[in-house]
Amino acid sequence: MSVLPELGGSPRPTPPAFFEMNGVGKSFGPTESATEVLRGVNLEIREGEFVAIVGFSGSGKSTLVALMAGLLDPDQGSLRILGEPVTGPGPDRGVVFQNYSLLPWLTVRENVLLAVDQVFPKKSAVERADHAEHYIEMVNLTAALEKRPDELSGGMRQRVAVARGLAIEPRILLMDEPLGALDALTRGTLQVEIERIWARDKKTVVLVTNSVDEAVLLADRIVPLKPGPRASLGPSFPVDLPRPRDRKALNGSVTFQRTRNEVTQYLIEMQSRSTPAMSALGRSLPDLEPADLRPPRASFRS
């Protein structure tokens, strides 16, 4: 197992950190009986990089995303974007929430438009409408423009959430299991779509996923999150595969196989090292079981 140190071995001079987390920790609950979900999380992301974070269910992935978005304040450590400390949420860090977080009383168009109107107040109303529709078209939902979330399938809702996240054109897009509820086929289509959008805009993307395959297919670098409590990030696994990546061709690729096996191997090892009580809870490797169709509603209190 070749475990590379973070950003190590790169012959190029390291560009300034676009986004960095230093010794970040987060606990929930009253101080006496707090559960420490994350501890000592370090992460550095370069501009334009596509980073995938893989981890077990309940290990703290959504908590990590909320911290990066500024929706939660860390108990220890610091987060910086371009050297500036993160003090709260903002549209420079777009979030695609795990549970879509669409507003149920608004149509698809209105949901995206709400974000666009807020983030581009200088554009004319017509420009904003076009802008919103453009991103809705990108996720193939033009036919559902006037539908409300309760008339959409789970996968369609996730696509709306992705469109909304993209439409505000954030500097960094945080996606929390954005394709979790999709069938394999749609998932594949959207993976291609995400890669295409990323390649076009060279946006910095953090993708949280429970599928190692998806991570290898899309990311420049995979960072596993160790099982909680007190989860921290494992070593980075760079993905040395040419782009655009073709899923079919990749299946035969030795590099693809090797990277996937390394990451999987690492996760399994970490899993068996965590307390037996945790294993007894029946946690298995997430990408070996069907994706959790109805993810628990995470709620963040700041």
Partner 1 sequence: MSRKARVIHGCEVAGLDVFVPVVRLLSGEEPSRQIAEFGRSVGIPLLALGVFLLVWAGVASQIETSIGRVPGPAAVWEQGKALVGDHYAERTKEAQFYERMEGLKEKYAEEGRPWKDRRYSGKPTFLDQVGTSLATVFAGFVIASVVAVPIGILCGLSPTFYAAMNPLIQIFKPVSPLAWLPIVMIMVSALYTAENPFFEKSFISSAVTVALCSLWPTLINTAVGVASVEKDHLNVARVLQLSRFSTVRKIVIPSALPFIFTGLRLSLGVGWMVLIAAEMLAQNPGLGKFVWDMFQNGSSQTLAQIMVAVFTIGIIGSLLDRMMITLQNAVSYDVRSS
Ligand X SMILES: Nc1ncnc2c1ncn2[C@@H]1O[C@H](COP(=O)(O)OP(=O)(O)OP(=O)(O)O)[C@@H](O)[C@H]1O
128 forms part of the interface with partner 1 (CB under 8 A)? no
Tokens 């899993």 label which residue? Answer: 271
| Interface region with partner 1, contact rule CB under 8 A, candidates 1-9, 91-99, 122-130, 205-213 | 91-99
* Strand pairing report for 172-176 and 204-209: parallel
End-to-end Cα distance, the chain: 39
| 295 lies in the binding site for ligand X (CB under 6 A) | yes
Stretch that binds partner 1, among 25-33, 104-112, 186-194, 210-218 (CB under 8 A): 104-112
Distance CA 132, CA 250 (A): 34
Residues 6+ apart with CB under 8 A from 180: 98, 158, 209, 210, 291, 292, 295
CA distances from 290 to 38, 55, 115, 286 (A): 26, 15, 32, 8
Q: Which does 69 bind (CB under 5 to 8 A by kind): ligand X, Mg ion, partner 1, none?
A: partner 1
| Pairing relationship of beta strands 93-96 and 50-55 according to DSSP bridges | unpaired
Q: One symbol per residue from 52 to 91: x for binding Mg ion (CB under 5 A), - otherwise; what is it? A: ---------xx-----------------------------
Going by C-alpha positions, the residue among 114, 109, 180 that lies closest to residue 141 is 109
For position 105 contacting partner 1 by CB under 8 A, the verdict is yes
Give the range of 110-118, 127-135, 270-278, 293-301 binding ligand X by CB under 6 A: 293-301
Answer with the entry of partner 1, Mg ion, ligand X, none that 58 interacts with (C-beta below 5 to 8 A by kind): ligand X
Which range, of 86-94, 125-133, 205-213, 272-280, touches partner 1 by CB under 8 A? 86-94
Of the CA atoms within 13 Å of residue 131, those in its CB half-sphere come to 24
Q: Is 163 in the site for partner 1 (CB under 8 A)?
A: no
Q: List the interface residues with ligand X, window 14-73 (CB under 6 A).
A: 28-29, 37, 55, 57-63
Minimum distance, C-beta of residue 284 to partner 1, in the bound complex (Å): 27
Query: Residues in the site for Mg ion, rule: CB under 5 A?
Result: 61-62, 98
